[in-house]
Amino acid sequence: MTTIVPFGEKPSKEGVLYVLNLLKKNNLLDNYIIVESNNVELLPSSLPLDNAYIIGEHLATYGILKKLRPRSVLSIDAHTDLMHDYLDHGSWLAFALEEKVINRAAVIGATLMIPSTPRTQLWDRRVKIFPALNRSRKTNRGWKGYVNLQVHGVERVIKEAKKYLGEEIYLTVDLDVLKPEYKISRFQHGELNAEELLEILNAIKENFRIIAFDIAEISDKIRRSRLGKKALIDVYRLLTEE
């Protein structure tokens, strides 16, 4: 079964409901439930224990994690979502780690909100970041490069993530990791094309046991995006096929 969660502001809710009909039209979805909530703290009590979720704003993942309580989370995202001010779509992962809803996390594909100096006000404990592009951070011992997709490739990144997280993960895929021309997210987009994203997801399926997954940050912009619709369908198909 797939749980449809039209969570967040109106563009996110409408985007998720549009995707519901898109997947049905393409014969990819016949067994599903719709769960609506305006409060992430109340969301877990409404959610079923499922292995697939289609959600609006990424904050909904925080509610899913409180329901499922996985040990490790692997996030594919253009943002690290490690802001540490108040709970929202830009800080859900920081709060999940701080509150010990999960033990460890890794983010693959980030281009924004990456800690670059010790003074960067982002949560940085029990989480590894693998940027899309070659990025460095300043440490007490000087500048140190992140293991990243651009320089080290998918195989190395997945190997390092598995070493840190273990074999069993909850997977969340924020579609803003795709380039701007895919027109899926309301916010800043990332640096990957659909083929690169699918390569990463294939490698994840081969190397991890995915206990459940979500596809996040779908807005109503996807209605007008041929590339975005195809990417969404391809990602969903890959993650749900045996």
The pLDDT of residue 171 is: 98
> Which two three-digit tokens encode residue 237?
């198909």
pLDDT tens for residues 8-37? 999 999 999 999 999 999 999 989 999 999
The pLDDT of residue 34 is: 97
pLDDT tens for residues 134-150? 998 877 778 888 999 99
The reported pTM is 0.96
Q: Which residues contact 21 (CB under 8 A, 6 or more apart)?
A: none
Cα separation, 156 vs 181, in Å, equals: 28
Q: Which domains does the chain have, with CATH numbers?
A: 2-240 (3.40.800.10)
**Residue 118: pLDDT over 80:** no
Task: Report the 10 Å Cβ neighbour count for 123.
Answer: 20
pLDDT tens for residues 70-89? 999 999 999 999 998 889 99
Residue 233's pLDDT band (boundaries 50, 70, 90)?
A: very high
